[in-house]
């Protein structure tokens, strides 16, 4: 009889429950992780609400921290018992998409190797991390050892929101001295703000209305925080920039209003870096787009993954240049994950991120 484990299972829209599943079998290229800490992402809430479709019965979650329980027969360079993370994006490492550097768009080793958002497997196309154990595919491309001295909570942001937020800043190609606006200061927006600061932006404008997030935005590097519940953020950002607009606008929420706002504050030739997960059609207003003649760039980013990305992010944490643990505001055991979803999905108690321990 197969050994069973606890897992957070998507049953139907509006319902994720804690149930039992067999502990996964380990193939030659795989590794089995014993999860010690994980978390809930805004994308998991999209799944819970039925706004992003996944198969019923899927284990959700894509932010694993733990240790290696078992290695596949073809996996080398790691040891069982070793503390590791794996990114939310798990490329094969050998597909044409991976070899071109587009790990998030990796469709696997067969055929042409390209598939839109194909690198996002955990909690999307295969069972995810909100469980006692997680099967990591293509382990040699995706396992990253945790440096000595770093706690689970210090590296918990690396698999997704730190990688995604920094990715939005990187895709915007921020330069030293740039002016940047970041629409929404949720967890990903906060890391986009931090990424803009670390890349050399000197004026960083966060857009937010929740006081705790506004304060955290300043802690992450924002020089200005605009409260959109009190002023029109587009008008306010144009005032701050003396009518010039920003070099880079990062959209970190996934709404028409924030996307359009980000477009309207761009200077000619500026870049809109979009991190939002959109559940409906987007409209590009002709005037904000300068009738298509404003030399603007719109770029999208899915969380960069793979072990080298994880190594770099953990090195950044270890350097002390960013305090990722500050974003963990609530803690729950896996047995209480339904309560954790209720808190996080409804944004109660000033929640930023929750730590789920097994």
Contact 170, 195 (CB under 8 A): yes
Q: List, for residues 4-61, the tens digit of each pLDDT value.
A: 999 999 999 999 999 999 999 999 999 999 999 999 999 999 999 998 999 999 999 9
pLDDT of residue 81: 98
pTM (predicted TM-score): 0.95
- Classified as helix, coil or strand, 339 is helix
Residue for token pair 């440096």: 147
- Percentage of the chain beyond pLDDT 70 is 100
Q: How many residues does the chain have?
A: 358
Could you tell me the pLDDT band of residue 260, with boundaries at 50, 70 and 90? Answer: very high
pLDDT of residue 110: 78
pLDDT of residue 277: 86
Contact 337, 145 (CB under 8 A): no
- The answer to whether residue 1 scores a pLDDT higher than 70 is no
Could you tell me the pLDDT band of residue 157, with boundaries at 50, 70 and 90? Answer: very high
pLDDT of residue 280: 81
Q: In sequence order, what DSSP letters do the residues of 59-126 get, joined into one string?
A: BP----EEEEEEE-TT--S--TT-EEEE-SB---SSSHHHHTT-GGGB--SSTT-B-TTTTB-BTTTB
Q: List, for residues 177-229, the tens digit of each pLDDT value.
A: 999 999 999 999 999 999 999 999 999 999 999 999 999 999 999 999 999 99
**Within a 13 Å sphere around the CA of 100, how many CA atoms are in the beta-carbon half?**
12
Euclidean distance between CA atoms 338 and 344, whole angstroms? 10
Q: Which two tokens stand for residue 293?
A: 């003649």
- The answer to whether residue 113 scores a pLDDT higher than 70 is yes
Cβ neighbours of residue 221 under 8 Å, at least 6 residues apart?
A: 193, 194, 196, 197, 198, 204
- The answer to whether residue 235 scores a pLDDT higher than 70 is yes
Number of neighbours of residue 193 by Cβ within 10 angstroms: 33
Q: List, for residues 300-331, the tens digit of each pLDDT value.
A: 999 999 999 999 999 999 999 999 988 999 99
Angle at alpha carbon of residue 180, lines to 177 and 183, rounded to 5° = 165
Euclidean distance between CA atoms 54 and 48, whole angstroms? 10
pLDDT of residue 282: 92
pLDDT of residue 109: 79
Largest CA distance in the chain: 69
Helix (H) or strand (E) holding 195: helix 187-198
């Amino acid at each position: 009889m197969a050994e069973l484990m606890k897992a957070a299972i998507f049953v139907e829209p509006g319902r994720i429950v804690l149930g039992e599943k067999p502990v996964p079998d380990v193939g030659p290229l795989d590794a089995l992780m014993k999860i010690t800490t994980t978390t809930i992402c805004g994308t998991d809430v999209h799944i819970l609400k039925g706004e992003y479709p996944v198969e019923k019965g899927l284990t959700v979650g894509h932010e694993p921290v733990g240790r290696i329980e078992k290695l596949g027969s073809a996996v080398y360079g790691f040891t069982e018992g070793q503390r590791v993370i794996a990114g939310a994006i798990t490329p094969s490492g050998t597909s044409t998409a991976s070899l071109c550097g587009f790990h998030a768009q990796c469709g696997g080793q067969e055929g042409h190797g390209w598939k839109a958002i194909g690198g996002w497997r955990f909690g999307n196309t295969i069972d995810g991390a909100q469980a006692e154990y997680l099967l990591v595919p293509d382990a040699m491309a995706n396992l990253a050892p945790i440096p000595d001295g770093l706690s689970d909570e210090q590296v918990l942001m690396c698999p997704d929101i730190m990688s995604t937020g920094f990715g939005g800043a990187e895709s915007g190609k921020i330069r030293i001295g740039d002016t940047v606006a970041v629409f929404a200061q949720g967890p990903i927006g906060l890391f986009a703000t931090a990424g803009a600061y670390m890349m050399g932006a000197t004026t960083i404008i966060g857009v937010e209305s929740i006081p705790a997030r506004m304060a955290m935005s300043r802690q992450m590097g924002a020089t200005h925080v605009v409260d959109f519940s009190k002023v029109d953020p587009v008008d306010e950002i144009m005032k701050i920039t003396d009518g010039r607009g920003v070099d880079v606008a990062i959209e970190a929420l996934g709404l028409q209003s924030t996307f359009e706002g980000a477009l309207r504050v761009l200077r000619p030739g500026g870049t809109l870096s979009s991190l939002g997960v959109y559940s409906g059609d987007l409209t590009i207003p002709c005037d904000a787009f300068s009738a298509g003649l404003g030399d603007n760039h719109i770029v999208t980013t899915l969380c960069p993954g793979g072990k080298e990305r994880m190594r770099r992010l953990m090195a950044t944490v270890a350097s002390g240049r960013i305090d990722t643990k500050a974003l963990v505001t609530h803690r729950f055991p896996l047995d209480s994950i339904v309560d954790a979803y209720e808190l996080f999905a409804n944004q109660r108690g000033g929640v930023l991120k929750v730590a789920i321990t097994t």
